[in-house]
Amino acid sequence: MQTTKAAPDGSYDGSMENRKETSPEIELPPKATRRIIPPSYKARIHEEYDSLDTKGKGALLRREGLYTSHISSWRKAFGANADASLAKALRTKAQAGELQDQIP
């Protein structure tokens, strides 16, 4: 509700002289994009998750900003041959690191 000020003599002329003209400028955030998670990251998190106890698993998920559904879906994506898929993802990351070391 907006209040108006009366003149010193108690009268009000209805003018908008004392009002401030403001136009709120609304700044919208950029459109959200999906996070792309590389297989090497998934493999590392999966290995670490499996090696932890219940409290450690919760701490890992909070630290990385993940949910248990992420871990479950990654397991399904790797399929029955999960160990081979995880090993391949880790091996690929290690090879990429070796290539970076060779660049002068």
Q: How confident is the model at residue 68 (pLDDT cuts 50, 70, 90)?
A: very high
pLDDT at 45: 92
Whether pLDDT at 64 is above 60: yes
Q: What is the pTM of this model?
A: 0.48
Q: Which residues of 46-76 are buried (b: 16+ CB within 10 A; e: fewer)?
A: beebeeeeeeebeebbeeeebeeebbeebee
Phi, psi of 84, rounded to the nearest 5 degrees: -65, -40
How far apart, in whole angstroms, are the C-alpha atoms of residue 41 and residue 43? 5
Please name which of 57, 36, 55 lies closest in space to residue 46, comparing C-alpha atoms.
57
Q: How confident is the model at residue 95 (pLDDT cuts 50, 70, 90)?
A: low
pLDDT at 20: 57
The string of pLDDT tens digits covering residues 9-63 is 666 556 655 555 666 788 888 888 888 888 889 889 988 999 999 999 999 999 9
